[in-house]
């Protein structure tokens, strides 16, 4: 009757991008939380333990590469897939993202269908990645069908 839903954290300084991603993923029954800067993003990661992070690179207060490195160094959060969202499509930028620990790199302007496809691909098996202390978060349930 009921099943847990994954939470995706969207970190982008543009309110438009945050709203678009939120609307697009909510249609797919994915819960979305957002952050407009680097420090708020880290707070949200610790508080909410998202199943996936969509991360812009150019951010106020702390850039996406640094956030990615911090998440990857933390034993509790290191398994969270991080998809970098950036307007920079050069090989160097993609390499830098990969070195910082990103799982995938999406170039802006992205196609909303491509975004959904990528997010769904990396959300597969998200429940297995959740540490036991975040069990309580799974109580956010939705009615099936």
- Binding footprint of another protein on the chain (CB under 8 A): 1-2, 13-20, 23-24, 27, 58, 60, 87, 108-113, 141-145
Give the nearest distance from C-beta 111 to another protein in angstroms. 6
Q: Which is nearer to another protein, 87 or 131 (CB)?
A: 87
Q: Which is nearer to another protein, 103 or 112 (CB)?
A: 112
Give the nearest distance from C-beta 42 to another protein in angstroms. 17
**Cβ(67)–Cβ(42) below 8 Å:** yes
Q: Which residue is associated with the tokens 């509790």?
A: 76
- DSSP state, residue 139: G
The token pair at 65 is 């590469």
Helix (H) / strand (E) containing 129: helix 126-129
Give the nearest distance from C-beta 104 to another protein in angstroms. 17
Q: Which is nearer to another protein, 20 or 130 (CB)?
A: 20
Give the nearest distance from C-beta 30 to another protein in angstroms. 15
The angle at the Cα of 140, spanning 34 to 130, to the nearest 5 degrees, equals: 75
Q: Which is nearer to another protein, 60 or 131 (CB)?
A: 60
Phi and psi at 122, nearest 5°, equal: -85, -10
Which of 27, 31, 26, 102 shows the shortest CA–CA distance to 63? 102
Q: Which residue is associated with the tokens 């098996």?
A: 125
């Amino acid at each position: 009757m009921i099943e847990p839903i994954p939470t995706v954290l969207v970190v982008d300084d543009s309110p438009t991008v945050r709203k678009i991603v939120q609307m697009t993923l909510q249609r797919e029954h994915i819960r979305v939380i957002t952050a407009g800067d680097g420090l708020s993003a880290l707070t949200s990661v610790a508080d909410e333990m998202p199943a996936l992070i969509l991360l812009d690179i150019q951010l106020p207060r702390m850039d996406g590469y640094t956030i990615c490195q911090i998440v990857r160094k933390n034993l509790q959060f290191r398994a969270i897939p991080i998809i970098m969202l950036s307007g920079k499509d050069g090989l160097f930028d993609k390499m830098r993202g990969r070195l910082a620990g990103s799982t995938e790199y999406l170039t802006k302007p992205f196609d909303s269908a491509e975004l959904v496809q990528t997010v769904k691909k990396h959300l597969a098996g998200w429940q297995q990645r959740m540490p036991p202390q975040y069990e309580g978060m799974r109580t956010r349930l939705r009615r099936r069908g």
